[in-house]
A and B are shown apart, each in its own frame.
Chain A
């Protein structure tokens, strides 16, 4: 019998109320073992308070060739940033 354990992506929430962040991946036979392995591989120095694992094949990603059509539309919408608007100093904090 020869087949590999599936690949899991590991996400960890750091100590400071941050979002979970991708930290790396690992192989494990199932979700339970993936969490255990993630603890040993990615939190040996108090790196987190919570772990998410998701099997890599369930992740849908944008492809690099879509980068233009995907992200360029937002480049022209400068009015989405507060600095686009000039508000006189007299108005006070806003």
Chain B
């Protein structure tokens, strides 16, 4: 999802007998739903896994501004432009809340930024796909923010206090994002033939990449098992993907659009849809850096970071000079 395939300790979940007394007390707190706060004792693996996950989540919010920012200047009306601007600004805020949560674990903001720019840390695969038409902005809000919400709502209950609080704040803001996207889709789907075709084309291109956001099946993953035990992760990837499909298919039907999956069928027995898996080979290729926009996205972030250096340094020099003058005057 916004954090895909986050590695944990890789050693599997420890049994009670294998835990040190500290680890056992820690696990008891988690099992009793007592939040862990930054200064509390925590296993090193918990700290590292959280930094990876929150960091990747934060990077996704930041890089996720790029495909939508692409359409701010070309939104069809002034109102749509103002709405999209507000939405993209929210995503910047989400990135900031999450970076702050990660920093409470002892990593610096610059460290996180450098790891993003060097490619050491990832962001969600979804943002490596282009937004070619205005309908794509509708599809992104509806499907991409929709998938994000699916993942973020349970994460409000995650065990780490600062992460949970950031998620609560983010979730409050997200439903506006999904609704504005669906609102665009409704307009397009009820518009001219050309607009309808555009809406269908956007759904066709974003459907499978949205399913990939939840990551490959992790029912046998030792990393996910540990994250579930620590309540860093609340549901498995397959559970979230199923929920997303079940929620989204009727919404597509309402629009009169066709989900691009011949195998999509209601399964009475399981009370959910059967559906086709996305092309996981494509997913791994995109994660490796070979998606349609990986290069552009990273270049845009590097450019913003490098070209903003003089502003960061200048403001700090100014603040230091003023502080020194104040001390001298006292």
Contacts and interface: CB of A to CB of B under 8 A. Distances in A.
Interface in B285-330: 312-313, 315-316, 318-319, 322-323
A63 B37 CA distance: 11
Contacts of A54: none
Contacts of B96: 26, 41
Interface string B101-127: 001000011100000000000000000
Nearest to A62: B39
A1 B313 CA distance: 7
Nearest to A37: B96
A33 B323 CA distance: 14
A24 B100 contact: yes
A33 B93 contact: no
A88 B302 CA distance: 74
B37 A29 contact: no
B183 interface: no
A42 B242 CA distance: 34
A2 interface: yes
A3 B313 CA distance: 8
A7 B86 CA distance: 25
Interface string A50-92: 0000000000010110000000000000000000000000000
B103 A7 contact: yes
A72 to B, nearest CB: 17
Contacts of B312: 5, 29
Contacts of A27: 109
Contacts of A1: 313
B61 to A, nearest CB: 12
Nearest to B309: A1
Contact of A29 (B40, B97, B315): B315
Majority secondary structure of chain B interface residues (helix, strand, loop or mixed): helix
Interface string A4-29: 11010000000000000000111101
Contacts of B23: none
B70 interface: no
Contacts of A26: 96, 100
Contacts of A2: 110
Indicate the size class of the contact surface on chain B: 20 to 34
B133 interface: no
Contacts of B316: 3, 5, 29
B315 A4 contact: no
Nearest to B41: A64
Contacts of B108: 4
A44 B169 CA distance: 12
Given A24-B100, A44-B90, A63 B110 contact: no
Contact of B100 (A25, A61, A64): A25
A29 B39 contact: no
Contacts of B90: 44
A41 B86 CA distance: 12
B110 A29 contact: no
B39 A33 contact: no
Nearest to B313: A1
A4 B110 contact: yes
B89 interface: yes
Most buried by A among B89, B103, B316: B316
Interface string B225-262: 00000000000000000000000000000000000000
Interface of B: 37, 39-41, 86, 89-90, 93, 96-97, 100, 103, 108-110, 165-166, 169, 173, 312-313, 315-316, 318-319, 322-323
Given A30-B323, A41-B96, 10 more contacts: A2-B110, A4-B108, A4-B109, A24-B166, A26-B96, A26-B100, A33-B319, A40-B93, A61-B39, A64-B41
